[in-house]
Amino acid sequence: MTTDETSDPAQLLATPPPTPAPSAKRVLLAAPRGYCAGVDRAVVAVEKALEHHGPPVYVRKQIVHNRHVVETLERRGAIFVDETDQVPEGALVIFSAHGVSPQVHERAAARGLRTIDATCPLVTKVHKEAVRFAADDHDILLIGHAGHEEVEGTAGEAPAHIQLVDGPGHVDDVVVRDPAKVVWLSQTTLSVDETMETVARLRARFPLLQDPPSDDICYATQNRQVAVKKIAPESELVIVVGSSNSSNSVRLVEVALEHGARSAHRVDNAGEIDEAWLDGATTVGVTSGASVPEILVREVLTWLAERGYADVDEVVTAEEDLLFSLPKELRRDLKAARTARQEQGSTAGSPV
């Protein structure tokens, strides 16, 4: 699925992080953490659209689920809206990294909006799987969180064939037409362990349940969970930087607690850390969700250093080098602008 696969996670988890001298305060900093390729692409798409088209540029929903990113782009002229009918006719609107249903594309087209689709290619992959299995008349069991934008977008690809399974507790509610034609797909940012539990329960009910052609939980989500599993057993406290509506950030807190952290908290920034969390903590684990800029992690490290946790060990469980090209509509606009500039330059320089 990606060029930056986790090396053997079982092996990585088997090797403990460095052991500190007793009572030496330290930070275990998980890597990978922070921005994934899909978030980076979506944020750069808004920045380039602002540079090229000038403000305002409308964005349907939060471009990525991070308050700092959204507020920074707002200051530069992005206007975030809930639906395309809040965008003036003919204006430019960008669709977020979480993806949209075909109905959203249709409504935007009906109002003459210019669009840039910043859906992460790994979400688009799940959309395509849904379309393909629906065309084969499968019942599609989409494991994901009710109300999440990504789930709404994917479900909108084949509403008559898709039913949502919001975790293991909802498996008993599933009703299918033909148990021999059932496939599961998932949201990209789920807990790997919980999803496997949901799948196991679904398979107990539907033994012929098909798996997706490749992992739907994306490389970034998986890698960040492997990294936090590695630091959690050594940490009395794990701080996850990420916003409350960031699914993968919230999952990191759960995964840390499930894998031995004595406590784990999500914060948007250093200002939200409660000093009382440090009581009795020698080792503090730090990580961040896939939509979190590194500057917010650096601020947390500075905050911790000021309280005696200046010794930082980075615990690396995978290298990531995946990059996605910008959305095609934006590449087309930028290329046209480049060509126009070149033609202008050659006209200006030609003899009369």
Separation of alpha carbons 16 and 209, rounded Å:
37
Catalytic residue, candidates 149, 150, 157, 320: 150
CB of 92 or CB of 123, closer to ligand SF4: 123
Residues touching ligand SF4, count (CB under 6 A): 15
Our finding on whether 225 is near ligand SF4 (CB under 6 A) is no
User: What are the φ and ψ backbone dihedral angles of 239, each rounded to 5 degrees?
Assistant: -105, 120
Instruction: With contacts defined by CB under 6 A, name the span among 206-214, 217-225, 268-276, 336-344 that binds ligand SF4.
Output: 217-225
Q: Quickly list H helices, the chain.
A: 9-14, 37-53, 67-75, 102-110, 121-135, 149-155, 192-205, 219-231, 247-258, 294-305, 328-349
- Please report the sign of the dihedral spanned by the C-alpha atoms of residue 279, residue 284, residue 288, residue 289: negative
Our finding on whether 189 is near ligand SF4 (CB under 6 A) is yes
Separation of alpha carbons 66 and 84, rounded Å:
21
CB of 46 or CB of 220, closer to ligand SF4: 220
Exactly one of 122, 199, 278, 326 binds ligand SF4 (CB under 6 A); that residue is: 122
For ligand SF4, the binding residues in 132-151 under the rule CB under 6 A are none
Q: Site mask, ligand SF4, residues 240-259, x = CB under 6 A? A: --------x-----------
CA distances from 240 to 10, 116, 253, 291 (A): 22, 31, 6, 12
Start-to-end Cα distance in the chain: 55
Our finding on whether 192 is near ligand SF4 (CB under 6 A) is no
Exactly one of 57, 104, 220, 250 binds ligand SF4 (CB under 6 A); that residue is: 220
Exactly one of 28, 29, 30, 36 binds ligand SF4 (CB under 6 A); that residue is: 36
Position with the least CB separation from ligand SF4: 38
Our finding on whether 153 is near ligand SF4 (CB under 6 A) is no
Instruction: With contacts defined by CB under 6 A, name the span among 105-113, 171-179, 215-223, 336-344 that binds ligand SF4.
Output: 215-223
State the nearest-atom distance from the C-beta of 66 to ligand SF4, in Å: 11
CA Rg, the chain, in Å?
22
Our finding on whether 286 is near ligand SF4 (CB under 6 A) is no
Our finding on whether 188 is near ligand SF4 (CB under 6 A) is yes
Q: What is the DSSP letter of 210?
A: B
Our finding on whether 226 is near ligand SF4 (CB under 6 A) is no
CA distances from 236 to 12, 13, 262, 264, 284 (A): 20, 18, 5, 8, 6
Token pair of 276 as six digits: 């009382």
Separation of alpha carbons 84 and 173, rounded Å:
33
Token pair of 160 as six digits: 């008559």
User: Catalytic: 150?
Assistant: yes
Q: Which residues of this chain interact with ligand SF4, rule CB under 6 A?
A: 36-39, 97, 120, 122-123, 188-189, 218, 220-221, 248, 290
Would you please indicate which residues are annotated as catalytic (active-site) residues? 150
